Chains A and B, each alone.
Chain A
Amino acid sequence: MFVKDYMTRHPVMIDPTMSIVEAQGIMSETRVRHLPVVEGGKRLVGLITRERMRIPPTELASLNVWEITRFLSNLTAKDLMIKGENVITINPGATLEEAATVMVEQRIGCLPVLEEDIVIGIITEIDMLIQLAALLGGGVPGVRATVRMPNKKGEVAKAVSAIAAQGWGIYASGGVFAPKNPDFWDCVIKVRDVPKEKLAEVLSGIEGQELLDVREVS
């Protein structure tokens, strides 16, 4: 799972000279929240986000009604954008979790993807959420079980082999440390074409593991 496979290629981009009114129009027309600002051959020079569009009330208060229009119409992308070196970017070969970590640490919603300094795509929190849902088999009907297991080697294998022994197939799975309980590991397993009760029976029979939840999903 690399950034280059999940980013949006050909993101909507604008020139630094574009008026902010027009940029706003593009944002609402295309329903995007981030506009990389590029120059000469898609070289990144900045980034405009919805937040950047908000004019601080202190600044507005000093203007009268007539001045606001003029103030806005003179504003260009260059004036409002996050400037070049301050834009946090990522390379296409990075993994999705690396991208997610950067976004969390920096509290930002998007990362322009650069190859050298040319913008080739953009990856946003929405892309991350889509892949999170996909990782856990979102939207595919089946039976979903959550198993709490000790944080030890071979525990996942136990659950997997119990399922495999029945001739069933796992179509999605994922695990995280149990909330507030780092000695345990919560694992979600999704199995297709089995009755809920039979899966529950098989999984609850594994020694040392606890079946937290089992349900049918669609």
Chain B
Amino acid sequence: MTTHRMQSPVLKLEDVAISYETRYGDIEAVRSVSFEVPRATTFGIVGESGCGKSTVAFGIVDFLGANGKIVGGSIKFQGRELVGRSQAELRKLRGDQISMVYQDPMQALNPSVRIGEQLAEVLTVHRGISKDEAWQKSIDMLQRVYMPDAANVMGRYPHQISGGQQQRVVIAMALLNNPALLIMDEPTTALDVTVEAAVLDLIEDLKRDFETAIVYITHNLGVVARVCNYVGVMYAGEMVETAAIEDVYGKPQHPYTQGLMRCVPKLGTTKESSRLYPIRGRVPAPKDRPKGACIFAPRCDYVTDKCQNERPLLREIRPKHSARCFYSEQIDAGTWQPPKGLVPELASEVEQERQEPILQIKGLKTYYEQESKSMLSLVGMGEKQYVKAVDGISLQVPPGKTLGVVGESGCGKSTLAKTIIGLETPSNGSAEFLGFDIAQGVSERDQQLIQELQMVFQNPDSTMNPSYSVGHQISRPLQRFKTVPSNQVREEVIRLLHAVRLDGSYYDRLPRQLSGGEKQRVGIARAFASRPDLVLCDEPVSALDVSVQAAVLNLLLEIQREHGTTMLFIAHDLSVVRFFSDYVAVMYLGHIVEMGPAEAIYAPPYHPYTEALLSAVPIPDPTVAQKHIRLEGTVPSAMHPPSGCTFHTRCPRRAMLPDGGKICETQEPPWRYNTEEHRIYCHIPLEELREMEPVVTTG
């Protein structure tokens, strides 16, 4: 039945090229990009950082800044050419017909103006309607984006609402003028996985109801699989493959797309069964891109002479599926074999006898004292308030194993790591490492103890001194802990650099001369320099691109196997944790709610919170069926955690208990032991938890 008429696309790009003027001359950031976005569909643009995704998005509305310019091709919006329009005309279009949502909602909102005024302004300025009417329409729109208590939110400032709510406000603002085209640049990247899932659902609803065409830019292949109808894969400024979503995941035709798929850990894979295969090399800078050759040739496993000497065109492999490769028909991704040396041979894990745990924590509490605002506190008589960041955690880690810690932001993951490493002093409880008491600050610790406990941080940029060379940074722990005699420090640094797959020439480089992945490698080399027994990794790969992430994860695994190091691995990405960990602890509001071997966590019985987290994870496979569970609201304040089970305010499974789960509000739940190692902190009996369907089912 034909219910849709043949319609021209809302947005059509043909052979677009965008350049930036720099002191080295014009640099072509994007070239030969063509795609179309029909109405009421989402077109995803994926690729690693530096591939020109955002440049394309900015180019559509000519937001390229003073030095950017469109140097070729055509961009048609509803049949109208946008290239060469005056800024005034474009401004009008941006107000009326095209809206944008960016990654960081705080940058789109004015921190000093109330949300209501910011929203109403869109209508009073662009439509000239009265203030009262605009106010009412803004409330309606906030309700449309499922903002709880919309009328009240109108009177608040942006910092008074959570990140997910801020992004809702930005989306509401973008939709107030009912745009025909919505450009979203990584709109959920800064959000927690549970919030992200809710925002992605919202985007899907809005697309259907408003028939908006959406250009969705992201680096996350899982997110693309969830929201997009069509995908364009970008590499080094070129579109290398475009296709419908099922085809990109089911039958990727370009070697780069195939490579990307091998880089991402899937939720179903475990540390033993699977490998991640990074793409060798890295994305070339615009000025180093190969000329007159296939742009991917230097990193491609199928490269031939032809690829080196001729530039392939984006050609249709089958209807609605195009790839920029000479050999798409011949290449079969199923028969791909990793080239030698791409992934290190892992020393097989030595099955150890059950040993004493290397790290043992009992009832650990870390509270942050909070100034009370009452008058009494001025004279020191006020009641003290505490943020209960870590509130009674017990866990143990056997030697040589990895414990993954997951949870939403604000659940106390990082505080736990900081307490173990000694940057925070615990308020209560005991922590033992190799039998030594570590329940004290780092300054009181024995140097040997410090040596055995090292940390890899999330953001390699902020953990390296920008004015010290790489060699200097790595040699510091070596000198301090006297790991090697002082005359051998340099050799040892170079050995460590080799161990993280960097060559000796990096010794004299400064951090700013390294890419993000290389900096993180240096960070890892530094953490392992003192040959520690326990390494705490706080989101070590979340700032990295997928192909770099794969390489760094492999590297960590390899070093761990080689040295038998124990690791505490903190991450918010459940697929990465699953891939990397032997044991997993799920944290919520300072408590561990579920703990056990990795495979047990990812299959029923689940703690309701684990179940919700798992159903929120975007899976890079559109054929996988996932349960739809969304948590309401945000993590409550750790200063006044809810009574009883701290999760009761958001628990979607409370109704399973008699009286609508009254017991959850009043009593702390018991630990229920599924197996000796797998425990769940919940009132719901194990038998009922066991009967739940698995969250993820592969189709």
If the complex has contacts A9-B210, A10-B39, A10-B211, are A41 and B126 also in contact, measured as CB distance less than 8 A? yes
Q: Do A134 and B78 touch (CB < 8 A)?
A: no
Of A22, A30, A41, A138, chain B has the most CB atoms within 10 Å of the CB of A41
Q: Do B5 and A139 touch (CB < 8 A)?
A: no
The size class of the interface chain B forms with chain A is 20 to 34
How many A residues touch B, CB cutoff 8 Å? 31
The answer to whether B469 has its CB under 8 Å from any CB of chain A is: no
Q: Do B127 and A43 touch (CB < 8 A)?
A: yes
The answer to whether B650 has its CB under 8 Å from any CB of chain A is: no
If the complex has contacts A12-B78, A31-B8, are A139 and B180 also in contact, measured as CB distance less than 8 A? no
B89 — nearest CB in chain A belongs to which residue? A15
The answer to whether A61 has its CB under 8 Å from any CB of chain B is: no
Q: Do B128 and A40 touch (CB < 8 A)?
A: yes
The answer to whether A96 has its CB under 8 Å from any CB of chain B is: no
Q: Do B2 and A30 touch (CB < 8 A)?
A: no
Which A residues are CB-close (under 8 A) to B129? Answer: 41
Instruction: Give residues of chain A (22-41) contacting chain B, Cβ–Cβ below 8 Å.
Output: 22, 25-27, 29-32, 38, 40-41
If the complex has contacts A40-B127, A41-B128, A43-B127, are A26 and B1 also in contact, measured as CB distance less than 8 A? no
Which secondary structure characterizes the binding site on chain B?
Answer: loop
Instruction: Give residues of chain A (3-57) contacting chain B, Cβ–Cβ below 8 Å.
Output: 8-10, 12-15, 22, 25-27, 29-32, 38, 40-43
Bound form: Cα–Cα A147–B334 in Å? 59
Of B1, B2, B177, chain A has the most CB atoms within 10 Å of the CB of B1
Which A residues are CB-close (under 8 A) to B126? Answer: 40-41
Q: How far is the CB of A172 from chain B (nearest CB, A)?
A: 10
Which A residues are CB-close (under 8 A) to B212? Answer: 10
Q: Do B96 and A42 touch (CB < 8 A)?
A: yes
If the complex has contacts A9-B211, A40-B128, are A139 and B8 also in contact, measured as CB distance less than 8 A? no
The answer to whether B3 has its CB under 8 Å from any CB of chain A is: yes
Q: Do B2 and A138 touch (CB < 8 A)?
A: yes
Q: Do A29 and B79 touch (CB < 8 A)?
A: yes
The answer to whether A189 has its CB under 8 Å from any CB of chain B is: no
B178 — nearest CB in chain A belongs to which residue? A120
B212 — nearest CB in chain A belongs to which residue? A10
Instruction: Give residues of chain B (62-97) contacting chain A, Cβ–Cβ below 8 Å.
Output: 76, 78-80, 92, 95-97
Q: Which of A77-85, A99-107, A125-133, A157-165 contacts B (4 or more CB under 8 A)?
A: A125-133
Bound form: Cα–Cα A137–B92 in Å? 43
Which A residues are CB-close (under 8 A) to B8? Answer: 29-32
What are 29 A-B contacts with C-beta separation under 8 Å?
A9-B39, A10-B178, A10-B180, A13-B97, A25-B79, A26-B79, A29-B79, A30-B7, A30-B79, A38-B96, A40-B128, A41-B96, A41-B127, A41-B128, A41-B129, A41-B177, A42-B96, A42-B178, A120-B178, A130-B3, A130-B5, A133-B1, A134-B3, A137-B1, A138-B1, A138-B2, A139-B1, A139-B2, A140-B1
> Which residues of A come within 8 Å of B, CB atoms?
8-10, 12-15, 22, 25-27, 29-32, 38, 40-43, 118, 120, 126-127, 130, 133-134, 137-140
Top 7 nearest A-B pairs by Cβ distance?
A41-B127, A10-B180, A30-B79, A29-B79, A26-B79, A139-B1, A30-B8
